[in-house]
Amino acid sequence: MDNISLSQLASISDLQRDYASLVEKVKKLAQPLFLLRRNQPEAVLISVPVYEELIEKGRLYEEKLAQEAIVEFEKDRKTGKLFLGTKGSDLFKFEKKLA
């Protein structure tokens, strides 16, 4: 929780007392609101657009990792580092090749 301003902090009791105002603040500032219980982080309140942006960034990151894995798979397949078998007994053949 580095670089968080005091305006981004609220207690759980503040949220219970003034829910509408805090939600409007989150929407207006497009920044997360860190909810504290006994001065310890308990939860984070974010706007729907910020949430959707985070979900999309996560999806794009996973897609990038999948693409990198495919490239690595193809590279390993072309260099013979990858074993492709269709049945369990193929593993024993591959094991003998390694020995």
Q: Do 31 and 62 belong to one domain? A: no
Q: What is the pTM of this model?
A: 0.66
Query: Longest C-alpha distance within the chain, in Å?
Result: 71
d(C-alpha 19, C-alpha 15), whole Å: 5
Looking at the fold, whether 40 and 12 belong to one and the same domain comes out as yes
* Count of structural domains, the chain: 2
- Note down the domain range covering 71: 47-78
Looking at the structure, do residues 40 and 55 belong to the same domain, yes or no?
Answer: no
Q: Are the C-beta atoms of residues 33 and 22 closer than 8 Å to each other?
A: yes
The per-residue pLDDT string of the chain (99 residues; one tens digit each, 9 = 90 and over) reads 567 777 789 999 999 999 999 999 999 988 899 999 999 999 999 999 999 999 999 999 999 999 999 999 899 888 877 766 777 777 676 665 655
- On whether both 67 and 36 belong to a single domain, the answer is no
* Residue 33 CB neighbours (<10 A): 21
